[in-house]
Amino acid sequence: MIIVLKSNVSDEQILNFSNLLTEKYDIKVNTWRGTHSTVLGLLGDTHLIDSEALQAKEIVESVKRVQEPYKKANRAFHPQNTVITVGNSKIGDGKLSLIAGPCSVESKEQITGIAKAVKESGAGFLRGGAFKPRTSPYAFQGLRGEGIELLLEAKKETGLPIVTEIMSIAHLDLFEDVDVIQVGARNMQNFELLKELGKTNKPILLKRGLANTVEETLMSAEYIMSQGNDRVILCERGVRTFETYTRNTLDISAIPIFKKLSHLPVVVDPSHSGGIAWLVEPLCLAAVAAGADGLIVEVHNDPAHALCDGAQSITPKMFDTLAKKLSAVKNNI
Amino acid sequence: MIIVLKSNVSDEQILNFSNLLTEKYDIKVNTWRGTHSTVLGLLGDTHLIDSEALQAKEIVESVKRVQEPYKKANRAFHPQNTVITVGNSKIGDGKLSLIAGPCSVESKEQITGIAKAVKESGAGFLRGGAFKPRTSPYAFQGLRGEGIELLLEAKKETGLPIVTEIMSIAHLDLFEDVDVIQVGARNMQNFELLKELGKTNKPILLKRGLANTVEETLMSAEYIMSQGNDRVILCERGVRTFETYTRNTLDISAIPIFKKLSHLPVVVDPSHSGGIAWLVEPLCLAAVAAGADGLIVEVHNDPAHALCDGAQSITPKMFDTLAKKLSAVKNNI
Amino acid sequence: MIIVLKSNVSDEQILNFSNLLTEKYDIKVNTWRGTHSTVLGLLGDTHLIDSEALQAKEIVESVKRVQEPYKKANRAFHPQNTVITVGNSKIGDGKLSLIAGPCSVESKEQITGIAKAVKESGAGFLRGGAFKPRTSPYAFQGLRGEGIELLLEAKKETGLPIVTEIMSIAHLDLFEDVDVIQVGARNMQNFELLKELGKTNKPILLKRGLANTVEETLMSAEYIMSQGNDRVILCERGVRTFETYTRNTLDISAIPIFKKLSHLPVVVDPSHSGGIAWLVEPLCLAAVAAGADGLIVEVHNDPAHALCDGAQSITPKMFDTLAKKLSAVKNNI
Amino acid sequence: MIIVLKSNVSDEQILNFSNLLTEKYDIKVNTWRGTHSTVLGLLGDTHLIDSEALQAKEIVESVKRVQEPYKKANRAFHPQNTVITVGNSKIGDGKLSLIAGPCSVESKEQITGIAKAVKESGAGFLRGGAFKPRTSPYAFQGLRGEGIELLLEAKKETGLPIVTEIMSIAHLDLFEDVDVIQVGARNMQNFELLKELGKTNKPILLKRGLANTVEETLMSAEYIMSQGNDRVILCERGVRTFETYTRNTLDISAIPIFKKLSHLPVVVDPSHSGGIAWLVEPLCLAAVAAGADGLIVEVHNDPAHALCDGAQSITPKMFDTLAKKLSAVKNNI
C-alpha cells in the first residue's frame, strides 16, 4: 500500500502517523520524502488495513493499494482451482457444469418434468426459485417453503442436487436440505446474510450485484469465507448500464478476470443478463469460450405461461440443442 | 397499459388472450387491429398486473405502461404531502429538516457531544451508525447493539429523535426505541426486510440503491407501505456512474421527480453522494434549492480520527455555518 | 408508432393533430378513445417521423415506436447479410475475418514487419493508426499523413488491404488509397463526418461510441448509408461502465443483437474493450462464439516500446497462437 | 507521478528505466526499493508524460498520477477566476450569466422575438441552434448557414452576443461573426475540431460529453488552450446513466469540482440534462446554489411547435419568472 501525504506535512506528523500504522498493523513503513510530496510505502500484510479510513486522515492526499484487499478468495494465496463437489456433480473441475431449471417452481409436475429433461441433456444441477425477489410487492413472490419441498421431490426423482435462492436469514432452516444456496444480485452486499451463510457448510452461489465491481464481488465472497465456509461459486449475471435493449449488460470480461484473481469457480447466468430467450444461446457460447466453469440457465417447459421471467426462458428442447453446442466449443478451446 | 401484439396473431389468439386478462384482473380490454399489428388497451386498475409476465407471452411484441406500477406511494392517489412527525421534529412540513451525526457511533462522549452541537445548530434528528455495512469483512462493523444504547443516551440528553440503520431482520428487537429506521442503499431491494419493516409502526428512511431507478425506489417504498406502514422517507444518496472523482454521482433531478410522482418526503445525503467533505456544502445548497425536504449529513467532531468514512464528514462548526446558509436559500426559493 | 394522448384532450384537438400527421407523412392514423386516455396508432412508413418532436406536443403523453427508426441498416428490409469485399479479403461472408496491426504506425520497419507476420497468421487486413485520438494534447498524436504513406508501403509489400482511422473531413484527401476508413468511438456521432463518408465509395468501419446504445450505433450507420454508401462494418469495442478493472466493458450481447437487427457485418475490438493484453485471447474467443464476423486486434512486435496503447497489444507470436484457437472455435459453433 | 514496478525487476532494469525517463522529460526520479516491490517517484513537471504509455512497459505494475495531467486549465497554476467578456456581457465575474434561446433557429420572427423577450428578462447572451446534431439522418438538421444569418439579425436588433454550435471545421468561415462558439457533447473529444478552435480568438463553450469524466473535460479544454485560445467556458449538461426518467443525469457535483480544479467559468444546461420542461426550474436553482457562473436555457415562444427538442423548452414567460427566482438564490448563497 502506498500513501501519498499532503505537501505541507511536518516531519513530526509523518513520524506520528508511521508509528500509528506500525502499532496497529503488522507492517513496516518506508518513507520517501520528496520536495513536493511525501510517499509512505507499507510492507507486509495490508489486507486488514481500512484504506478508506486512512484516506480520511487530514495529512493524507491519497492511498493506492498494491495488494488486493481480499485474501481467502485470492488466487495469489491459493493457486489451485477450488473444485466444489455436491453428490455426483462438480463445479470447477475443468468440465462444463450446467445448472438448469425454471425461474420459479410452480408445481410438482412442472419441476419434476423439467428436472428429468435437463438431466437427460446433461445438466448436473437443478435450479428453481422458491423465494422470488420481485420489484413489485404485487407480483408473484414464489411458493416459498412449499417451493423448496417441490425441489426436494424433484431431487428425489432425478438425483440432481438443487440450487435455490435465499432472501433472508429468517428462512435458513428451510434450506437444510438444499444443496447449493444462491445469493441473488440484490443481496450481494447484504453482509449480515453473507456472514450467516459463512457459518453453514453449504456451497454458496454468489451473484454479482447489478452495480458492483469485480473487486466488490470478491470482497463479498471474502465475507462468506472469513466465517469459515470456503465453498463459494462466483456468478456473473450482467451489470446495469445505459443500454436498454437488454435487461442488463453481461460483463464477459469478468469471467477471465475472476479466474485470474481468484481460485473460486465461475458460472454465468445468460438468462438474467440478457432477459431475452434468443440471446441465451450466443451468451452461453461466449461464456464458455471465455472460460466459464459453468452456466445457470432458465429452462421452462412452457415459457409463455411461466409465472415469472418467461421472456428469458428457453424450452427443454432448446436446452438440449444448446448443451450439445456448448460441448463442441468447450472441447475446442 | 398498452400491449402490442406480434404481426401474425390470429383473431382467436387475440380473443383468448383478452379473456385471460379480463378474468384475472378487474379491467376492460379494447382491441385495435391494424394491418401490421394489433394493439390492446387495458383500462382500469393495472398496477396489479405483472408487465414482465405479459411480456413473456408468445404473442406479445411489447408492453407499455401508461399508469405507474405503484399506488400507495403515488401522488396521483394522495395529492397531499405526507408529513412525518417524531416527537417535536417533522419531515415534509415545508420547513427544512436536518438530520445530522457521525457515520459511526464510537463512544458516549462522541455521540452526546455531537448531538448537543448539531441540536444547537438546528438539527431536528440525530443520526449515527450502530450497524455498519462495510465492503470488507475486515473493516470496523460498528458497535452494533451497544451503538444503539449510546444513541439512546444521546437522545435522553438532547431530546433529539434518533435515526439509525438496520441491516437484518434478526436485529429488529434492538430497534424498539429507535425513532426512525434507516434502510441502506445496499438493502433497498432486500424485499424480505422491507416487508418486515412494513409491519412496524416506525418511520422508515429508505435510501435509493446505487443502481436503482427512481421508479424502483418508489416500488421499494410501496413494499413497505403495502404492509400497512405509510411513513416512508425517500433518500437520494447518489448513484453509481463512470465518474471516479466522487464516490457516487448525486442525482439532483431525482428530488423534484420524487416530489412530483410521490407524496412522500425526500431527504438528500450529500456525504455519501460525494464522499468528500468540501463537497457537502455545495451539494446541500443545491439539494435545498431543488426542493428537498431535508438533509442527512455526516458530522464528526474529529473527522481525521473517525472509525469510518471520515473523509466525507464535516465538523460541528462547519455544520453550524452550513445550517445558516441553508436557511437563507430555503427562505428564498 | 403509438401515441398516447393526455387525458383531457378534446375531440377537436385529436382531429387536428391527426390531420397534421397525415398531411406531413405518408401514413394512416387510427384513433382509439378510452375513458381515461386516447391512443393513436400510426400505420405506414414511420421511420421519417421525429418522435422527439411529437413528444413535445402539448397534448401528447408519450410516444412508443413499434418499427425501428432506421431503414437502410435494417435487416427487416434487407434479409441477406451484407458481404464487404476489398481486394482478396472479405468481411461478412461466414468466415472469420482478422484485422490486425499496431495501435500506431511508427516506422516502415515496424509496420511492414507486423504486416508480414499477421498475414502469415491469417489476417486479411492490416490496421494501423496514423491519426491518433488521444485524451491529452501532449500525448503522441500519430504520424498522420506520413503514417498513411507507411501503411501503403506495407500494403504494397504484403497485398493486405489497410484499415485506418479518420479524425476530420479536412484529411479526406489523404485517405484516397486507404481501403477501409475507420470512424473511432469518439466520432461515432460526428454527424458531419458521417455524411461526408457516406458520399465516398469506401467501406467504413464504424466503432460504437463509449456511451451509445445499439440503436444509436445503427442510426449512425444509417447516416452513412443515407448518403449512398452501403458498405458499413459495425464494430463493438466496449462501453463505459462503473467497472474500473478494464478500460471499458465489452458488450458481448451487442454482437447477436446487431446481427439480428441489421444485415451489416460485425467486428469486435478486444484490445480497446479490455485494455489489457492477457484479456485479448478470451475476449476474441467469446466474440467468435457469440457470432462476430471479424476481429480487429492490436498486434505490436514490441508492445513495451509502443508509442501508444502498448498495454493492450499482443505480439505477432501470440497472435499466431490466437488465430489457430479462433479457427477451432469458429469451426465448432 | 508514482510508478510501481513489478516484483521481479533487476537493478539494471530499474536504472535503465530511470535513465530513459530523465532523458526524455525534465524530471528527477527517486527510487524506493522494498522487499516485494519497487516504487519510483517522479518529481518535476509531469503533465507531459504519457501515463498510458508508461503503463504498457513490461516492468511496470501500475502508475499513479499525483499532479493533474492538465496545466493551462488548472487552477493550481492560475488561481484567479477567468472572466470572459463579450461586448457588454460577461461570464465568470461573480454575477449570474444567462444564455437563453431556442433549441433551433426557425425564422426571423421566432429568433428575434425570443431574443427580445429573454433580454428583457435579464439574459446576457442569445443561444440558438443553426447546425443541429440529430441522432436520425431523417430529422431536421437545422437551418445551418441561414440560421447563423438569422441569429446575427437578432443580435443587431437586441445587442445580445450570440452562442451557437459548430459541428465541423469545414463550417468555420460561417462562424466569423458568431460571438461564442459552442462545442456539443458529441464532439467533446473531436480533437481535430478542438485544435482548430484553439487557433481562433473566439470564446468556446465546451459541453461535457455524455460519458466523459470531469478530468477528460478539462483535458479537452486543455486541447483548445494548448493552441493559444484561453477563453474556454465549461458546460455541464448531464451524463448518461441507467436512469430512464430523465434524458441524462445532471452531475451537480461537477460544478464545484470544476470550480476547484480549474479557473475557467462553468455554466449548466438544465434543458438537455433533464429533457423535461418542468425540470428546468429546479435544476437551474440547484445549479446556481452549487456555484454555477451561468446557465444556458432553452426558451421557445411555442414549445409545442418547435422543430426540435420542444419537450424541454420553457416559454419566455416561464423564463422571466425563473430569472427572478434565480437572482434571489444567487444573492443568498
pLDDT of residue C57: 79
Residues of chain A contacting residue D34, judged by C-beta atoms under 8 Å apart: 30, 41, 43
Residues D41 and D89 in one domain: no
For residue C244, the chain A residue with the least C-alpha distance is A213
Identify the CATH number of the domain in which residue B128 sits: 3.20.20.70
B34 pLDDT higher than 80: no
Q: For residues B168 and C120, what is the distance between their CA atoms, to the nearest angstrom?
A: 61
Nearest to A140 among B50, B169, B222 (CB): B50
Touching subunits for chain A (3+ Cβ pairs under 8 A):
B, C, D
B contact test, residue of A6, A26, A52 with most B CBs within 10 A? A52
- The percentage of chain A sitting over the pLDDT mark of 90, rounded to a whole number, equals 74
Does C297 contact A at CB distance below 8 Å?
no
Helix axis angle for B277-289 and D254-261, nearest 10°, is: 140
In this structure, are D205 and D308 located in the same domain? yes
Residues C164 and C39 in one domain: no
C contact chains, 3+ CB pairs < 8 A: A, B, D
The confidence band for A306, taking pLDDT boundaries of 50, 70 and 90, is low
Tell me the chain D residues in contact with residue C222 when contact means C-beta distances shorter than 8 Å: 136-137
Confirm whether B264 is domain-assigned.
yes
A244 → chain D, closest CA residue: D242
Our CA-based measurement puts residue B324 at a distance from the nearest CA of chain D, in whole angstroms, of 10
| Of the candidate ranges A262-271, B11-20, D90-99, D105-114, the one whose mean pLDDT is the lowest | B11-20
Q: For testing the chain A interface, which of C243, C262, C279, C293 should be mutated: the one with the most A CBs within 10 Å?
A: C243
Do C50 and C129 lie in one domain? The reply is no
- Is A50 within 8 Å of B193 when comparing Cβ atoms? no
Please report which confidence band the pLDDT of residue A51 belongs to, taking 50, 70 and 90 as the band edges.
Answer: confident
CA distances from A5 to A35, B313, D43 (A): 12, 19, 15
Lowest mean pLDDT among A7-16, A166-175, C198-207, D292-301: A7-16
Residues in chain A with CB shorter than 8 Å from the CB of D37 are 41, 66
Q: Are residues C116 and C52 in the same domain?
A: no
CA distance B71 to chain D (A): 18
Evaluate the CA torsion angle B17, B23, B26, B27 in order and state its sign.
positive
Q: How far, in Å, CA of D53 to CA of C306, rounded?
A: 7
Mean pLDDT over A196-222 rounds to 97
Residue B275 domain-assigned? Answer: yes
Q: Is residue B48 part of a domain?
A: yes
Residues 38-57 of C with CB under 8 A from D: 47-48, 50, 52-53, 55-57
Greater confidence (B305 vs C50) lies with C50
**Terminal-to-terminal C-alpha distance of chain D:** 37
Residue of A nearest to B304 (CA): A57
Do B298 and B103 meet the contact criterion of CB atoms below 8 Å apart?
yes
Return the percentage of chain A with pLDDT > 70, whole number.
97
Q: Categorize the per-residue pLDDT at D262 as very low, low, confident or very high, splitting at 50, 70 and 90.
A: very high
Q: Which domain holds residue A42?
A: 2-64
Q: Are residues B55 and B97 in the same domain?
A: no
Q: How confident is the model at residue D62 (pLDDT cuts 50, 70, 90)?
A: confident
Chain C partners within 8 Å of D141 (Cβ): 191
Are A95 and A30 contained in the same domain?
no
Of all residues in chain C, the one with the smallest CA distance to B44 is C36
CA separation for the pair B44, B29 (Å, rounded):
9
- Taking a contact as any Cβ pair under 8 Å apart, which residues of chain D between 308 and 327 contact chain C? 308-313
| Position D168, amino acid | S
d(CA D175, CA D202): 10
Coil vs helix vs strand at B123: coil
Across the beta sheet with B38-44, the strand order is: B27-33, B38-44, B2-5, B60-64
Establish if A76 belongs to a structural domain: no
Residue D80 has pLDDT above 70, yes or no: yes
Last residue of a domain, one of A64, A92, A111: A64
**DSSP assigned state of B173:** G
Residue B1 C-alpha, separation from nearest chain D C-alpha, in angstroms: 18
* Yes or no, beta carbons of B260 and D278 under 8 Å apart: yes
Count up the domains in chain B and report the number: 2
Are B237 and B269 in contact by the 8 Å Cβ rule? The answer is yes
| Closest chain C CA to residue D103 | C53
Residue of chain B nearest A167, judged by CA positions: B192
pLDDT of res. D308: 67
Position B226 pLDDT exceeds 70: yes
Q: Residue B171: pLDDT above 80?
A: yes
Predicted confidence (pLDDT) at residue A305 exceeds the cutoff of 80:
no
Q: Determine the distance in angstroms separating the CA of B238 from the nearest CA of chain D, rounded to an integer.
A: 10
Q: Would the pLDDT of A170 be above 90?
A: yes
The whole-angstrom distance between B121's CA and the closest CA on chain A is 24
Mutate to test the interface with D, among A242, A246, A247 (most CBs of D within 10 A): A242
Could you tell me how many CB contacts below 8 A there are between chain B and chain C? Answer: 48
Residue C244 contacts B where some CB pair is shorter than 8 Å: yes
Taking the alpha carbons of C204, C208, C214, C215 in that order, is the dihedral positive or negative?
negative
**Residue of A57, A132, A175, A192 to mutate, testing the B interface (most B Cβ within 10 Å of its Cβ):** A192
pLDDT for position D47: 81
Amino acid B240: pLDDT: 97
Phi-psi region of B314 (alpha: psi -120 to 50; beta: other; left: phi over 0): beta
Is residue B279 less than 8 Å (CB to CB) from chain D? yes
Q: How does pLDDT run across B133-163, given as a tens digit for each residue?
A: 999 999 889 999 999 999 999 999 999 999 9
User: Between B145-158 and B108-120, two packed helices, what is the crossing angle to 10 degrees?
Assistant: 40
Looking at the fold, whether B119 and B17 belong to one and the same domain comes out as: no
Contact with chain B for residue D244, Cβ under 8 A: yes
Q: What is the DSSP letter of B151?
A: H
Q: Looking at residue C43, what is its pLDDT? A: 79
Q: For residue C129, count CB atoms less than 10 angstroms from its CB and return exposed for 0-12, middle for 13-18, buried for 19 or more.
A: buried
Mean pLDDT calculated for residue range B239-247 = 95
* pLDDT tens per residue, range D14-58: 998 899 888 888 888 888 776 667 888 887 888 888 887 788 777
Q: Does residue D20 sit at the C interface (CB-CB below 8 Å)?
A: no
Higher pLDDT, D295 or D1: D295
- Distance of alpha carbon B39 from its chain centroid, rounded? 36
User: In this structure, what is the dihedral angle of CA atoms A54, A55, A57, A61, given to the nearest 10 degrees?
Assistant: 130
CB-CB contact of D275 with D319 (8 Å): no
The C-alpha atoms of residue B34 and residue D255 are separated, in whole angstroms, by 50
| Residues A100-123, mean pLDDT to the nearest whole number | 97
Can you give the C-alpha Rg of chain A in angstroms? Answer: 23
CATH value at residue B39: 3.30.70.1140
C25 domain residue, yes or no: yes
pLDDT reported for residue B67: 79
Q: Do C213 and A243 touch (CB under 8 A)?
A: yes
Asked if residue D77 belongs to a domain, the reply is no
Q: In terms of residues, how long is chain C?
A: 333
User: What is d(CA D272, CA D296) in angstroms, rounded to the nearest whole number?
Assistant: 10
CA distance C262 to C214: 11
How close does chain C come to A162, measured CA to CA in Å?
A: 29
Helices (H), chain D: 11-24, 51-55, 108-120, 145-158, 191-198, 214-226, 254-261, 270-274, 277-289, 316-330
The pLDDT of residue D67 is 79
Report pLDDT for B132.
Answer: 94
Q: Do C167 and D189 touch (CB under 8 A)?
A: no
How many Å apart are CA A313 and CA A296, to the nearest integer? 11
Say yes or no: C156 and C269 in one domain: yes
Chain C: residue whose CA lies nearest to A281: C290
ipTM strictly over 0.90? yes
Q: Which residues pair with C121 in a beta bridge?
A: none
Specify which residues B86 forms β-bridges with: B89
C87 vs chain D: nearest CA distance in angstroms?
31
Size of interface A-B (CB pairs under 8 A): 138
Question: Within an 8 Å CB–CB cutoff, is residue A195 touching chain B?
Answer: yes
Q: Is C20 on the interface with D (CB under 8 A)?
A: no
Write down which residue in A35, A64, A93 finishes a domain: A64
What average pLDDT does chain D have? 93
Q: Is residue D127 part of a domain?
A: yes
Region A189-212: what's the mean pLDDT?
97
Is residue A189 within 8 angstroms of chain B, CB to CB? yes
- Which residues on chain B are in Cβ contact (under 8 Å) with C41? 32, 34, 37, 39
Cβ distance of B43 and C35 shorter than 8 Å? yes
- Among A182-186, B26-30, B240-244, C173-177, which stretch is predicted with the lowest mean pLDDT? B26-30
d(CA B186, CA A210) in angstroms, rounded, equals 11
Same domain, B102 and B53: no
- Is residue D71 one of the residues assigned to a domain? no
Alpha carbon distances (Å) from B216 to A62, A137, D46, D76: 35, 11, 45, 42
Counted across chains A and D, CB pairs separated by less than 8 A come out at 48
> With pLDDT > 70 as the criterion, what percentage of chain D qualifies?
97
Residue of D nearest to B247 (CA): D253
Lowest mean pLDDT among A180-184, C145-149, D65-69, D106-110: D65-69
pLDDT of C61 above 90? no
Give me the residue from D273, D282, D332 closest to B256, CB to CB. Answer: D282
Q: B329–D325: do the CB atoms touch at under 8 Å? A: no
More confident residue, B287 or A29: B287
Angle at D32 between CA D27 and CA D37, to 5 degrees: 120
Contacts across the B-D interface (CB distance below 8 Å): 125
C105 & C60 share domain:
no
Q: Cβ separation of C329 and A325 shorter than 8 Å?
A: no
Please tell me whether residues B36 and B137 are part of one structural domain.
Answer: no
> Distance between CA atoms of B257 and C234, rounded to whole angstroms?
37
